[in-house]
């Protein structure tokens, strides 16, 4: 009886040891905030503006060197215009932070939560939830990975996040004051 119990315990210990060596736990790969960046571009009928945003925090979840999830928080108060200077820059940045656009006082952050990642070579097809101004919508995009860098380009329809100011989709007779619904994000993540 004693031998049988010892054999059972021995087999169980070997089995658990094998599982611990063969299982690949999910690991967090944190971004380096100061080296990662977001560049934005918004267009209107008479031109465009561009600028930057910074991350507050972010990580990818990795299993066997493959993305399985992740979460990124953007500091919306960091929004800057890089194509203007002086009073024009201050005015645009203030307007972008106002309730007409991102409502930064009530919504100081935006969040991207990766729900699914499918890999082909060094490109991942990402399905995620994007939350801006308290509204969440699904987004799909390609994320390119090489070494410790990931890059992507997203096109976001601002009206899906209740940002309708100057939108020709919601207001008539805007003329040359029309601001297009889509804005562009070029994102570089450094790990």
- Looking at residue 81, which CATH number applies to its domain? 2.40.128.110
pLDDT of residue 152: 98
Kindly state whether residue 62 falls inside one of the protein's structural domains.
yes
Domain count, the chain: 1
- pTM to 2 decimals? 0.85
State how far the Cα of 158 lies from the Cα of 170, in Å rounded to an integer: 12
Kindly state whether residue 57 falls inside one of the protein's structural domains.
yes
Mean pLDDT on 129-141: 98
Residues 31-60 have pLDDT tens digits of: 999 999 999 999 999 999 999 999 999 999
127 φ, ψ (degrees, to nearest 5):
-115, 125
Kindly state whether residue 170 falls inside one of the protein's structural domains.
yes
Kindly state whether residue 92 falls inside one of the protein's structural domains.
yes
pLDDT of residue 116: 98
Helix or strand (DSSP H, E) at 94:
helix 86-97
Kindly state whether residue 8 falls inside one of the protein's structural domains.
no
- Is the torsion defined by CA of 111, 117, 120, 125 positive or negative? negative
Kindly state whether residue 136 falls inside one of the protein's structural domains.
yes
Contact in structure between 25 and 19 (CB atoms under 8 Å): no
Domain that holds residue 168: 28-190
Residue 125: helix, strand or coil by DSSP?
strand
Q: Is pLDDT above 70 for 17?
A: no
Q: How confident is the model at residue 15 (pLDDT cuts 50, 70, 90)?
A: low
Q: In Å, how far from its chain's centre is CA 65?
A: 19
CA atoms within 13 A on the CB side of 1: 0
């Amino acid at each position: 009886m004693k031998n049988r119990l010892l054999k059972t315990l021995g087999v169980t210990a070997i089995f658990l040891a094998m599982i611990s060596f063969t299982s690949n736990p999910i690991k967090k790969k944190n971004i380096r905030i100061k080296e990662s960046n977001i560049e934005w571009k918004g267009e209107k009928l008479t031109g465009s503006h561009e600028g930057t945003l910074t991350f507050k925090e972010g990580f990818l979840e990795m299993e066997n060197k493959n993305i399985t999830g992740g979460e990124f928080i953007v500091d919306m108060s960091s929004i800057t215009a890089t194509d203007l200077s002086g009073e024009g820059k201050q005015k645009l940045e203030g307007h972008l932070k106002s309730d007409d656009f991102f409502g930064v006082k009530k919504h100081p952050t935006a969040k991207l939560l990766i729900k699914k990642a499918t890999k082909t070579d060094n490109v991942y097809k990402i399905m995620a939830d994007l939350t801006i101004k308290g509204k969440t919508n699904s987004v799909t995009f390609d994320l390119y990975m090489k070494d410790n860098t990931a890059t992507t380009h997203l096109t976001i329809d601002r009206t899906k996040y209740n940002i309708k100011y100057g939108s020709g989709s919601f207001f008539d007779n805007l003329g040359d004051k029309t601001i297009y619904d889509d804005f562009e994000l070029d994102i570089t993540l450094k790990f």
